[in-house]
Amino acid sequence: MVKAIKFNTLGDKIDEVVLPEAIFDVDVNNPQALLHEVITMYMANQRQGTVQKKNRAMTQGSTKKLFKQKGTGNARPGTRRTCIRTHGGRAFAILPKNWYRHIPRKKKRMALKVALTDRAREGRIFIIESLSFDKPSTKIARNLLNKMIPEKGRKLLITEGHHIPTVKSFANLPEVMTDRADGLFAYEVLRSSYILLTQDALNKVEEVFKS
């Protein structure tokens, strides 16, 4: 049984809640290998793959032999485009590449559960009743967050939906990330030292990722 501290909207501790075991208390045979595989694929998928260097076929210049093969005392000549000459092409030029690798849904979800389990067992997951900002206020957001989690470290705020005033209130705070409950991924969980969920977000996480 894994528990998390629950705060009210003012940041005062009011209770402890039991987290769903199907998401926050999961054991697998080799969690390190699973997380490494999934996160490596995720990071590869973030690459644009648009880098390109010019090879000798792409560079500008004549393909005519610069001077005759023998009799000059020089090395055997090629064209102006060869890689050994100034402004010539690269020998093994980098070309655009698609780095995308499909991540199986079961592996992706299991990696998320393993990451959440690690944070939950360390007592680094917190619940707040709700976050209601009528207008963006970084000052209120900072004071509220420091009251609940005064420790230093990157924090992840999870909300049920994309409530713009709430997201903007925390957007300017350093070491604070925000995400929707239905878009969680293992990488951002592992990047964060502490995770703060609203009660609605916790219910949404259970609804989406329970299976």
Give residues with Cβ within 8 angstroms of 19, minimum separation 6.
Answer: 2, 3, 4, 25, 120, 125, 202
| The predicted structure's pLDDT at residue 211 | 72
Backbone angles phi, psi at 177, to 5 degrees: -120, 155
The model's pTM: 0.84
| The predicted structure's pLDDT at residue 163 | 83
Rounded Cα distance between 75 and 114, Å, is: 62
- Return the percentage of the chain with pLDDT > 90, whole number: 82
Q: DSSP readout, 27-69?
A: --S-HHHHHHHHHHHHHHHT--------BTTTS-S--S-SS-S
The per-residue pLDDT of the chain, averaged, comes to 93
- What is the DSSP code (8-state) at residue 104? P
- Return the percentage of the chain with pLDDT > 70, whole number: 100
CB 149 within 8 A of CB 195: no
pLDDT in tens, the chain (211 residues): 899 999 999 989 998 999 999 999 999 999 999 999 999 999 999 999 999 999 999 999 999 999 999 999 999 889 999 999 999 999 999 999 999 999 999 999 999 999 999 999 999 999 999 888 889 999 999 999 999 999 999 999 999 988 889 999 998 999 999 999 999 999 999 999 999 999 999 999 999 998 7
The structural domains of the chain, ordered by start, are 3-46+101-209 (3.40.1370.10), 52-95 (no CATH)
| The predicted structure's pLDDT at residue 188 | 95
Rounded Cα distance between 157 and 155, Å, is: 7
* Residue 22 tokens, joined: 């199907």
Closest among 41, 153, 168, 25 to 104, alpha carbons compared = 41
Give residues with Cβ within 8 angstroms of 165, minimum separation 6.
Answer: 133, 134, 135, 136
pLDDT tens for each residue of 131-170: 888 899 999 999 999 999 999 999 999 999 888 899 999 9
